[in-house]
Amino acid sequence: MTISQDDIKKIAYLARIKISQDESILLEKKLTGIMNLIDEMQKIDTDSIEPMSHALDVNQPLRKDEVSESDIRKKTMPLAPEAEDYLFMVPQVIE
């Protein structure tokens, strides 16, 4: 499996990470190396095997849908890079 410049462009877009031309050239070799390591998996037949998504096969518990901590805005909003009147500020999205 070879990761091409086009692949990098596509996945960098999906991951929302800007990649410079120089970075992209370096990444091609390193990502291809990692994918070759990963491709070791293909040598084994797994057709009848149930996938394991979790370390322990347990059920996800449900809790009551109740407020536990109300109004945490005073604590959390000061962490925003830009906020006004308890609103997160972002560049204009809708014209």
Partner 1 sequence: MLNLSLKQLSQNLNDKTFSSLELTEFFLSRIKKYNKQLNAFITIDESSSLSMAKMADDKISKGEHKPLTGIPIAQKDIFCAEGWRTTCGSKMLENFIAPYNATVIQNFNDIDAVNLGKTNMDEFAMGSSNETSYFGSVKNPWNLDCVPGGSSGGSASAVAARLAPAATGTDTGGSIRQPASLCGFTGLKPTYGLVSRYGMIAFASSLDQAGPMAPSAEDCAMLLNSMASHDHKDSTSIDHKKEDYTTNLNHPIQGLKIGIPKEFFGDGLNASVQKIIEEALDKYKKLGAELVDISLPNSDLAIPVYYVIAPAEASSNLSRYDGVRYGYRTKEYDDLMDMYFKTRQEGFGEEVKRRILIGTYVLSAGYYDAYYLKAQKIRRLISNDFKQAFKKCDVIMGPSAPSVAFGSGEKKEDPLAMYLQDIYTISTNLAGLPAMSIPAGLSNNLPVGLQLIGNYFEEGRLLNIAHQFQLSSDWHLKIPEGIS
Which residues of the shown chain bind partner 1 in the complex (CB under 8 A)?
Answer: 3, 7-8, 10-12, 14-19, 27, 30-31, 33-35, 37-42, 44, 46, 49-56, 58, 60-61, 63, 72, 75-76, 79-82, 88, 90-93
- With respect to partner 1, which residue has the nearer C-beta, 44 or 67? 44
Task: Compute the least distance from the CB of residue 85 to partner 1, in Å.
Answer: 15
Q: Give per-residue burial for 27-46: e unless 16+ CB within 10 Å, then b.
A: bbeebeeeeeeeeeeeeeee
Neighbours of 77 (CB within 10 A): 14
7 is written with which tokens?
């692949």
52 is written with which tokens?
């394991």
Residue with tokens 């500020």: 89
Task: Compute the least distance from the CB of residue 36 to partner 1, in Å.
Answer: 9
Task: Compute the least distance from the CB of residue 61 to partner 1, in Å.
Answer: 6
